[in-house]
Structure 1
Amino acid sequence: MSLQLTVVSLFLLGGVLTFPLGQESCHPTKPDMLNVHLVPHTHDDVGWLKTVDQYFYGDRNDIQHAGVQYILDSVVDQLLKNPDRRFIYVETAFFYRWWRQQSSSMQQTVKQLVNEGRLEFVNGGWCMSDEATTHYSAVIDQMTMGLRFLNETFGPCGRPRVAWHIDPFGHAREHASMFAQMGYDGFFFGRLDYQDRARRMMYREQELLWRASDSLTPPMADLFTGILPNGYNPPEGFCWDQSCDDAPIRDDPDLEDYNVDDVVKRFLAIAEGQSAVYKTNHIIMTMGSDFQYENANLWYKNLDKLIHYVNAQQANGIKVNVLYSTPSCYLQELHRTNLTWALKNDDFFPYADDAHDFWTGYFTSRPALKRYERISNSNLQMCNQLEVLGGPVSRRGPFGVGDSKTMKEAMAVAQHHDAVSGTEKQHVANDYARRLANGWQHCQVLVSNSLAGLSGSTAERIYCDNLNISVCPLTESSKKFSVNVYNPLARPVTWPVRLPVNGTAYVVSDANGKSVVPVSPATREVRRSRGFAVNELVFQVQAPPLGYTTYSVSLLQNGPPPASTQHHTPTAIKNKFLQVTFDPDTGLLSSLSNLETKQTIKLTQNFYWYNASDGNNVESIQPSGAYIFRPNSSTPFVISKTAKTESIQTPAVQEVRQWFSPWVSQVVRLYADSRALELEWTVGPVPIDDDLGKEVITRLDTSIQTAQYFYTDSNGREVLQRKTDFRPTWNLKQSEPIAGNYYPINSRAFIKDDDDQLTVVTDRSQGGGSINNGSLEIMLHRRLLYDDVRGVAEPLNETSGIFPKGLVVRGRLLLSLDRPASAADAHRPLAQEKEPGEIFLLHAIFSGLQAALPPAVHLLTLSQWDKDSVLLRLEHQFQSWESKVNSQPVTVNLQKLFTTLDVLGVSELNLSANQWKDEMKRFSWTPESGTAHLHLSVPSLQHIRT
C-alpha cells in the first residue's frame, strides 16, 4: 500500500511570532478613554448536572434549565437584528450538533456572521478540557477534532485566536505550552487562588506573560494570559438573562421606575474599580454565564441600551467608552499598547477560593472513571494506528463496518472539566463511561478488520477487557488459544501478561519464562461472579515497535502444579535489578535497593485515611466534596500498623500479598525482568458507618532527604518542582497544611536528594503531595457523605449494581529507584509502557516500523486524516535538563520509518493541525525584566529535524 503522508505536526517545534490576520471587524476604541469591552458569551458544560444530550436538547429541566440548541437559535436571530452586536462560542461538540441540523440557507447566514466577525469562535476544542486530570495526548486530540471542524467549515475566519478556559479549577503549565504551539495569541481564564489574585490586583499583574516550558526557546511556548475580573459572570447587578433577577434598564421617563441614571452610575463605578486593578485603558467584562442566552433578546436589548446611555455621558466629560467586543479584539488592543508584562514560569495549582476551600479533591474523585478514561485513550491510539496500517479494509472488512470516530468523540467529551475531573453527577459519569464503551466497540471492529487484512486470517478475535480482575471467558475455558499483544509505542516493549486460567500447567510458545499462580482471595472478592478462574498464567511478552506478536498457549494435562502460597512474610524478594525487604514483624515494606547502582533506601509504605470535614467546624463550614479536599485534621488514621501476608515465588514473578483490612489489600509484585516494583492496590468499599467520609491515601516514607521539595508532572509531559507550604510567585499564608499541599499527579511524581531518586508512576490521574520530608503520599479513593456546595449538589458516594455497598477500586503504582542524573531515562519509558494492548487471534509477528525510533522520540499520533494522508506527530519526550544522553536533539528519517506506508511528501502544521506551520503568526509580547520565578534551569531547545 502507498499512502501520501502529507499532514505532519512535530510536537516541540514552535512558530515565529509576528502579527496575525487583521481583525477588521473589531469596533474602534478611543485612546483617550477607558474602553470597556463587553463580551456576550455562554458557558455550556459538555455534561455536568445533565448529560451531553440532555443539555443539547433541553431535557431534564427539572435538574437544571438548560438547552443549548435554543441558545444558538436565539443568538443567531439576535445577531442578525443589529450588526454592532457580537457573540463568542466555545464548545464545538455542541455547535457541531447544532450545525448539522441547520438548513443550507441558515448555514450560509452563519458563515456570513463568522466572516464579518459578529460570531467568533474562541478556544474551539470539542470541549473546554480540565487541566489537572487530563493527559496531554488526549487534550491535543480533542482540540484537533474541534479545530478541524471549524477550519473545514469556516476557513481562516473560523479559526480561534484565543484560548478560553473560564471554568477549569486551576491551570496547568502544559496546557499553556500546548496552546502556544497551537498558534493562539492569548489565553483567558477565570479561576485562580484567592491569595494570588489579591496580590496580582495590588500590582496590576492580572494580565501576564506565561513562559510555559523550560525546554522550548522563548517565545515558542510563551502565551499572553489574562485573568477575567468576575470569573466568567457579568458584574454584579448587570445580568439580564431569563435565569437572572437583576432589573432591566427602564428608559422611558414617563413610566414608573425609570432607572437609567442609576444604571449608568453603578456601571461607571464598577468600570472605574476594575480599571484600578488592570494595567491599560482597556478592560473586559464577560456578559453571560452558564447556559445563558436561551432568550438572547433579553441580553441584547439591555446591552444595546447600556452601551447607548453610558457612551452618551461622554458629552458630559465622562471618559468611558463601552463597546461590543470579543476576546481577540480585546487582546489586539492590549497588544497595541506595546507594554511589558509580568512573567510567570510555574503553574496555577492548587486553586483555593477561600482559606479552607482547596479544590484538590477532584484530582482523585471518581478514580474508576479516571482509570477507564486512561485505558480508553490507549485503546483509541491503537485504533487510530491500525486504521492507518491496515488501510481501507480496516473500516470495511470481514468483521463489518468499524470506525474510530465514535471513540474519538467519546474521548473528546471525556476531557471536559466536569468529566474526567469527577465533578459531575453520578448519572452523567455513567453516561461518559457508556460513551467510552460504545466507542471501544466500534474500534474493536476496526481493529479486527485491520488485523485480518495484515495477517490474511479471519479467525475470530476476542477482546479481554477485564484482565485486571482476572476475567476472560476465552482463556478460562480454552485448552488452546493464541494471544496477540499490540505495542502502540515506536520502540520494542517487554511486558508481563497475566491471563486467568483453570489449568495448572501450560506451554507458551517463545515465552521467556512462565508461571502459574493462584488467583488471590482479594481478586476473587472484587470480581464477584464475573469470572471463575482459579489460577493466572504469567509470562513475559516481547512486542515489536508499532506492531504485534503472537504467543500460542496450550494446556498440559500432566504438568507441574501451580506455585503454592507461603503464609509467612519473606525477608526479601529480588531479581537481577531490584531487591525489596519486608519487616517480619509488621509485614510492611522496609527497604528498596537498586542492585545495578548499589543504592538502598529505607522505604515504608502503608495505607491511611483522612476523615472528611462534614462542615461542622469552628474555622469553616466547608465540607469535603467532589471538588474540595478538606480533612478534619492534619493527621491521617492508619488503617493497620501490620499487614497479614502470603507470598508466592516463581521464576516469572514474586509476589507478597498484603491484607490491611477487609477493605484494603495490596500485592507487592516483582517480575523477573523488571526494573520497577509494582504495587497493585485494592480499596473499597470504603466504610462510612461513622457518618464521616474518608479520603484514602497510600504513603511512602523514605530516608531520602528532600528538604521540602518534590516533583510532579504536568498533564503527563514536563515536570515541575514543588515545595511544601510554598508558592513561587507569592508569599503563601497556609491555612490547610494537607489539602493546600496537594497537586495533580497525572503520570508520575518523585522525590530526590543528591544520591537517590524514588519515582512513582501512576496508572491514572491522582492527587498527592510530600507533606513530610522524605515522604510522598498519593490519594487513591474518596467516599464522601456531604456536598461541597460547588454546584453538583450530590455527595461523592459511588455505588453500583456490582458494589451496592460502595465502589471498589483497583490500581497500580510502579516504583523505581535510580540516581537523580539518570532517573528520567528509566521513568519516562516506564510511564508509557504500562498499557500495551492485548487481543486474541492466530497470527505471527508484525511491525509497522522499519526500525524503532530513538529512545528520546515518542510517536504521539498516527491517525488517518483523509483518504490519501495521515496525521503524524513525533515528540521529543525529554526536558532539556533531564538526561545527559536523551535530552539531546534527534534526527528522524521519515522516508525510512514505516513498513506499510510510502512517504511521498511531508507538510508541517502546528500542534493542533489546523494551520500550516510556516503560516502560523502570533503576537509577540515583551516580558518585564526580573519578574520570572525560576526554580529549574532554563534549557536549550530540543527538537526533531525532518
Structure 2
Amino acid sequence: MDRSVCLLLFLAIGITCVTAQSCGYQKCHSLPIKPGMINVHLVPHTHDDVGWLKTVDQYYYGANTTIQRAGVQYILDGVIPQLEANPKRRFIYVEMAFFKRWWDEQDEDMHSRVKKLVNEGRLEFINGGWCMNDEASTHYNAIIDQMTLGLQFLNTTFGDCGRPLVAWHIDPFGHSREQASLFAQMGYDGFFFARLDYQDKANRLKLQNMEEIWRGSPNDLGKVADLFTGDLFAHYGPPEGLCFGILCNGQPVQDDPKLHDYNVDERVKTAENRSMEQAKHYHTDHIMWTMGSDFHYQAANIWFKNMDKLIKYTNAGNKVNLLYSTPSCYVYHKNQAADVKWNNNNTDDFFPYADKAHSFWSGYFTSRPAIKGYVRECNNFLQVCKQLEVIAGPMPFTNGGPSSQTFREAMAVAQHHDAVSGTEKQHVANDYAMRLHAGAVECQEVVSHALASKMKKGSVDPPAAQFCSYLNISICATTEENDRFSVTVYNPLARQVTGHYLRLPVNGQSYTVSAPNGKPVQTQMLKVTAQTAKVRGPRGNATSELVFPVTVEALGFSTYLITKATGRASRSLFMPQVETNVVSMMIPQSPMMREDTEIHNEHLSLIFDSTTGLLKTITNLKTKLILNVQQAFHWYNSSTGNNDDSTQKSGAYIFRPNDTEPLPITTKGSVITKVVTGELVQEVHQVFSDWVTQVIRLYAGQRYAELEWTVGPIPFKDGLGKEIITRFDSDMQTDNKFYTDSNGREILERQLNHRLTWKLNQTEPVAGNYYPVNSRIFIKDKSRQLTVLTDRSQGGSSLKNGSLELMVHRRMFYDDNFGVGEALNESGVFGDGLVARGKHYLMLESPADSSQLHRNLGEQLYMAPAVSFTPNTFSTQDWSNNFNMAYSALKRELPASVHLLTLELSEEDTALLRLEHQYQAADGGTPQTVSLQGLFEPFEVVTSSVEELTLGANIHAEKLERLSWNTNEGTTGNVSQQCWDPSSATVSLKPMQICTLRFHVKRRW
C-alpha cells in the first residue's frame, strides 16, 4: 500500500498500516545494481569492542575519555534519525551486548521506529552474537552459548527480520575452522573477516582467491559445514582517503563550485581508482567497502552526508556504481553469479596470524593464563547452573529472584576477542573477572536451591550449600573449621562418573568418609605443600588435604559425609584410611639419588631420572607401550625489538622470542624434593626454581598422569621478559607433524614450517609454528601417541621431531604496539607478579585407542563435577532419613559418544536441549540414536511440542534455506541434516553432529 494512501486512511478512519517487510534477501532486489559496471557495496558499520581499552560500561556510556573517545549509546542515538532521513541509506550492527542495553533504555516510540527500519532492511543485524568472540581461546560450548544469547534476543524482539544472514568477525586475530563450521550450522550464508596472514593475503590477491567456500568439517559434516567466506580488502576500514567521520583524516566532499576548496572531481577520481584497484582481485562485478571502523558514527550525520555526495557524483560517470548496501546483499549478489565456480579446497584454518614478517599474533594464545583458567572454570559452573534450573524447576527463580541470566551474560562478554584472549588493559581484565564472579555468586544460590529441592524427603530442609572457589590452593573455610561436614558432588555429564578424586583442605589428622550408601570410603591424607601455603598466603590455614574418590550418577548428585576421627577407636572402625609414605625429602642442591624413582598405578608407570629428577620414561602397563620422554620447564627471552631484523617486541598479542632455543629453568642437582606413595595417589614433587614447581600425580584407576604446575611470580629484576613453557622431548619420530584441537572439537594436523594452502616463508621459526590449544595437543608415531590435555587455552607446538611444548605463562615489560598500550605485566594478589597454577593431563596410548579416550577425558575435564559443602549437625542416620543422598535426573545414560551439550530453560516450562555426537568418524564414531521418551526423571518431554532448531536456536530447522554455491566439485550450501524424528521421538546423530531441540516439559510432581 502506498504510504500516502495509508496516511489518509489513518486520518480518516483510524486504520493503522504496517509497512510491508522487505527484510532477508528481499531487500536486495531493489538495490540499484548496474550490470557491466563495478558495483561497489558501501557498508556503513561500527566495530564496538565489548571491552578492550575501557570496560564494557565505559564504552557504552562514553566514559573515561582520557583513554579513548568512544560512546556506543551515541552511535545508536545518531544512526537511527540518519537512516530515517534517507530511505536509501543502510547500516549494520553487530554486538548485542551493547544493542540490548540501548534497546532497554528506549521508549515505545523509538522501538516502533527501529522495528520499521529493521523490517525494511535498512538497519540490519550482522553476526548477532552477544559479542564478536575470539576464535583461538574460546571453547565451542561457550561460543554457541554467547551466539545463542544474542540470536534469541534478536528473534524475540524483531522476528525473522532480525535474523542475521552473514557472520562478521572482522577483528579476531586469526580464524578457526571450527568457527566456520559452527556458523554454517547456525544457518549463515556468508562469513567475512579482516585479519589474514600477510603472505596468505598476498597470495590470494594474486590468485583472485579472496573469496571461497571454506570447508568447516570436510570429513564429518561435509557440505552442511561449508560456508562462503571472504577476506576484506582494506582491513575493516574504508578505502584509503575515503573515511569521513570525526575519527577520520579523509577529506569531506566539498561540492560548492563557488568555493576555492571544491574537490568533487578529486573525490570521484579517488573512488573510481580505489574501486578498480580492488575489483581486479575479485570475481564478479561486485565488491564491498567497509565504511566505518572502531566506534565510528558517534556523529553519524558526517558519515552519511559525505557518502550521499560521493554516491551522487561518482554515479554520474559510467565506470563505477556506488550504492548503500549490507553484507547480506553483497553475498546475495555474489551468489547470483551463475558463471562463477568458487574454490572449495580450503580445509585448513587461519592460524597463526602474522601481519608482517616478525609479528606473529601467537602470544595471546597464552596471555593472562589466570583469566583463561577462570573463564573455563566459570563456563563449567554455568552449565551446572543451567541444568539445575531445568531439573529442579523454575519455582524459586521467578519474580526477579536469582537465575543464571547474569552469569550467561557475563560469560558471553568474556568470549569477546579482547577478553578471554588476554589482550585487554589490566583494569578491563579486572572488570571481566568481577562480572564473572557476580554471575557465579548468583548461580551458587540457584544451585543451592535446586540441590536442596532434590535432597528434601519430608518437612526438614537440608542445610544451605556453601561453595569454595579456591580448592586449587587448599582454601575452604567449611572443611577447615568443622569437624563434621557434608560434600555434595553434582555431575553435569549424561554418564556416571567413577573414580573422580576430591582433595579437601582440612586441619585434622584423620577423617572418616561415608558414601551415599552408608559404606566407608577409602581415604588418604597428604600435607599441604609449602608452595601451596605460599601461594594462598593468609587466606587459609589448612595443614592437610583429605583425598578420596567419589562416584556420581549421570546428571545427578551424591552426598558424602565427613567426620574428623578422634582416637584410634574410630580409625579402627573405618579401616579405609591409608597411610601416606614420604619416600624421600630432598632439596635441589642435595646429592644425586642412587637410583631412578618410579611411581605407578594399574595403568601407568612413570620413571624419573636419578640424576636430574626429570620424568624419564612412561610405560602403559596394559598395552606394554614404552616412551622415553623428558619433561621440563624452559623460558624464551622476550624480544624488546632491539635486534637487526625488526623493532617488533613481544607483548599481549605478539610472541617473539630472542632465540629459537629456550633456556632451561632448573636448579643444580635433582629437581625432586619429595616422593609420596599411597594406595589412592602417588606424587612426585619437583622444584625447578623458587618460582616454578610441579607435582606429578598418579591416582588409582586413572589412565592418565596429572601434572599440576605452579609458575610465578616470574622474576623481573634482570629486566628480561620471559615466556614460560613446559616441554616434552621423546624418542618418537613424528615427521615434523603434530595435532591440535579446534575450539575443543575437531582435530587438525599441523606441520612444522608449513601451510596447507600457500607456500610459507618462515621468518619466526618459533612463534610462526605456535597454534592455539584449547583442550589437547598430541604427537604420534605408528605405535604410540602422547597426548596432553589442558585445563585452559594455551599456545603450543612441536618444534622438532618427538617434541611437544605448551606455553603456560608470560610476563613482559614492553608493549607490542598493537593498541593495548600496556605491557603484559600482571600483578598478583599480594602486589607481586601473578602466580598461575594449572594442570596438564598426560596420556600414552596407541593411536587407535587414543581418540575416543582423550575425547572422553576432555569431556570430563570440561564438564567437571561441581562440589558444594555444608557444616553437618545431623548424624549419618538422620541425614539418610531426612535427605536423598544420591539422585540422577536421567532414567538411562546416554551412549559414550553422545554428549549432553546444553540443557537450559528457554521459558518457564520450556527447555532447550542440545545433544552432540562428540566422536569424529576417524575416531570410530558411528551414527547414534537417542530416544527422548522417558529419558528424564523430573519431567517428561512433551514430544508433540518438540521443535528442531538450528544451532543458534533462532530458526526452525525445516525452514532454513541456505544459499547454494557452484564449486569445482558441484553445489554446496543448502544441505539439510535434520536429526529429530517425531514419529519415534528419537534423535539421530552422525559424527560431529549437534542436534538442537526446544520442547515443553511436563513436571512429574
TM-score tier, shorter chain, comes to over 0.9
Instruction: Pick which of 483-492 and 832-841 moved more.
Output: 832-841
The Cα shift of 1:484 comes to 0.7
What is the aligned partner in structure 2 of residue 435 from structure 1? 435
Task: State the alpha-carbon separation in 2 of the partners of residues 241 and 268 from structure 1.
Answer: 20
Instruction: Measure the CA separation in 2 of the matches of 1:301 and 1:186.
Output: 29
1:482 aligns with 2:490: no
| 2:966 alignment partner, one of 922, 926, 929 | 926
| Inter-CA distance 943–325: structure 2 relative to 1 (3 Å threshold) | closer
Query: Could you tell me which amino acid in structure 2 is paired with residue 661 of structure 1?
Result: S
Correspondence 1:492 to 2:499? no
DSSP 3-state at the match of 1:23 = helix
Q: Distance in 2 between matches of 1:752 and 1:209?
A: 31
- Tell me the equivalent position of 1:342: 343
- Within 2, Cα distance between the matches of 1:142 and 1:823? 31
1:362 alignment partner AA: Y
Alignment of 1:192-591 (within 5 A): 192-314=196-318, 319-338=319-338, 339-343=340-344, 344-395=346-397, 401-456=401-456, 457-494=461-498, 495-510=500-515, 512-559=521-568, 563-565=580-582, 566-567=584-585, 571-591=597-617
Secondary structure of 1:846 counterpart: strand
Q: Is the 8 A contact 1:648 1:654 kept in 2?
A: yes
Output aligned runs, 1:566-645, within 5 Å.
566-567=584-585, 571-640=597-666, 642-645=670-673
Separation in structure 1 between the aligned mates of residue 867 and residue 908 of structure 2, nearest angstrom: 28
Residue type at the aligned position of 2:959: E
Scaled by the length of structure 2, the TM-score of the pair is 0.89
Give the Cα–Cα distance (whole angstroms) in 2 for the partners of residues 308 and 24 of structure 1: 20
CA displacement, residues 387-413 of structure 1 (integer Å, 9 cap, x when unaligned): 00000234269xx93210000000000
Amino acid at match of 1:550: T
Aligned-partner Cα distance in 2 for 1:536–1:99: 51
Shift in Å, 1:25: 6.3
Letter of the aligned partner of 2:929 in structure 1?
Answer: T
Listed one character per residue, the Cα deviations across residues 278-313 of structure 1 (whole Å, up to 9, x for unaligned) are 111110000000000000011001000000010011
Residue 91 (structure 1) aligned with residue 95 (structure 2): yes
Is the 2:53–2:820 contact (alpha carbons within 8 Å) kept by the matching residues of 1? yes
* 2:827 alignment partner AA: T
SS at match of 1:580: strand
| Residue identity opposite 2:533 in structure 1 | R
Is the 1:395–1:449 contact (alpha carbons within 8 Å) kept by the matching residues of 2?
Answer: no
* Cα contact 1:38–1:322 (8 A) shared by 2: yes
1:813 counterpart letter in structure 2: H
Cα separation, 2, equivalents of 1:832 and 1:820: 19
Shift of 1:600: 0.7
Pick closer, same or farther for the CA change 1:574–1:727 going to 2, 3 Å.
Answer: same
**CA distance in 1: counterparts of 2:397 and 2:628, whole angstroms:** 53
How far 1:24 sits from its partner (Å)? 4.6
Task: Say whether 1:671 aligns with 2:699.
Answer: yes
**Residue aligning to 2:14:** none
Residue 737 (str. 1) matches residue 778 (str. 2): no
* In structure 2, C-alpha distance between the alignment counterparts of 1:563 and 1:287, rounded to whole Å: 67
Moved more, 892-901 or 25-34: 25-34
Shift of 1:162: 0.2
SS of equivalent residue, structure 2 residue 740 = strand
Once residues 603 and 300 of structure 2 are traced to their aligned partners in structure 1, the CA distance between those partners, rounded to angstroms, is: 66
From 856, 859, 870, the counterpart of 2:900: 859
Picking from 803, 817, 825, the partner of 2:844 is: 817
Deviations 1:745-784 (A, max 9, x none): 0001111111000110000000010001101000000101
Taking structure 1 as reference, are residues 284 and 625 closer, same or farther at Cα in structure 2, changes over 3 Å only? same
- 1:659 is matched with which residue? 687
Contact 2:685 2:695 in 1 (8 A): yes
User: For residues 263 and 944 of structure 1, do their structure 2 counterparts lie closer, same or farther at Cα, with a shift above 3 Å needed?
Assistant: closer
Identical-residue share of aligned pairs (%): 55
SS of the residue 1:401 aligns to: coil
The structural deviation recorded for 1:322 is: 0.6
In structure 2, how many angstroms separate the alpha carbons of the residues matched to 1:582 and 1:930?
Answer: 56
Q: Tell me the CA shift for residue 460 of structure 1.
A: 2.1
Structure 2: how far apart are the matches of 1:592 and 1:230?
51
Kindly indicate whether the alpha-carbon contact (under 8 Å) linking 1:71 and 1:293 is maintained by their aligned counterparts in 2. yes
Residue 832 (structure 1) aligns with: 859
Larger Rg: 2
User: What's the counterpart of residue 983 of structure 2?
Assistant: none
CA contact (8 A) 1:489 1:546 kept: yes
Match 2:730 to one of 697, 702, 714 = 702
Structure 2 residues not aligned, in runs of 5+: 1-22, 572-577, 587-592, 871-878, 973-988, 998-1005
Which digits, 9 at most, give the CA deviation of each residue in 1:395-446, with x for residues without a partner?
Answer: 269xx93210000000000000000000000000000000000001110111
**In 1: Cα distance, 2:610 partner to 2:993 partner:** 51
Deviation at 1:920, TM superposition (A): 0.8
Looking at structure 1, the residues matched to 913 and 733 of structure 2 have their Cα atoms a distance apart, in angstroms, of 43
User: In 2, distance between residues paired with 1:346 and 1:880?
Assistant: 18
- Once the two structures are TM-superposed, the CA of residue 28 in structure 1 deviates from its matched residue by 2.7
Would you say 1:681 and 2:685 are equivalent positions? Answer: no
How far is the alpha carbon of 1:536 from its aligned partner?
0.2
Partners of 2:951 and 2:994 within 8 A in 1:
no
Aligned equivalents of 2:401, 2:322: Cα separation in 1: 55
What is the deviation of 1:39?
0.4
CA deviations over 1:257-282 (Å, ceiling 9, x no partner): 11111111111111111011111111
Whether 1:806 aligns to 2:830 is no
* CA-to-aligned-CA distance 1:780-818 (integer Å, 9 cap, x gap): 001010001100000000003x23120000000000111
Q: Distance in 2 between the 1:404 and 1:640 partners?
A: 45
1:487-522 CA distances to partner (integer Å, 9 max, x unpaired)?
A: 101111121100001111111113653100101111
**Which residue identity does 2:93 align to in structure 1?**
Y
In the alignment, is the contact (CA less than 8 A) between 1:20 and 1:921 conserved in 2? no
Deviation at residue 563 of structure 1 after TM alignment: 2.6
Query: In structure 2, the residue corresponding to 1:379 is in which secondary structure?
Result: helix
1:913 to 949, 953, 959: 953
Alpha-carbon offset, residue 361 of structure 1: 0.2
Distance 1:77 1:562 in 2: 75
Shift of 1:558: 2.1
SS at match of 2:359: coil
Partner of 2:15: none
Is contact 2:918-2:992 (8 Å) kept? no
Among 766, 778, 784, the alignment partner of 2:806 is 778
* Structure 2: distance between partners of 1:556 and 1:421: 47
Q: How does 1:147-186 map to 2 (within 5 A)?
A: 147-186=151-190
| TM-score (normalised: structure 1) | 0.95
Aligned-pair RMSD on alpha carbons? 1.8
Aligned-pair CA distance for 1:851: 1.4
Secondary structure of 1:427's match? helix
2:342 is aligned with what amino acid?
Answer: W
Assess if the C-alpha contact under 8 Å between 2:914 and 2:994 holds in 1.
Answer: no
Q: Secondary structure at the match of 1:342?
A: coil
Quote the offset at 1:944 in angstroms.
7.8
1:659–1:666: 8 Å Cα contact kept in structure 2? yes
Alpha-carbon separation, structure 1, partners of 2:675 and 2:316 = 83
TM-aligned CA deviation for residue 21 of structure 1: 5.2
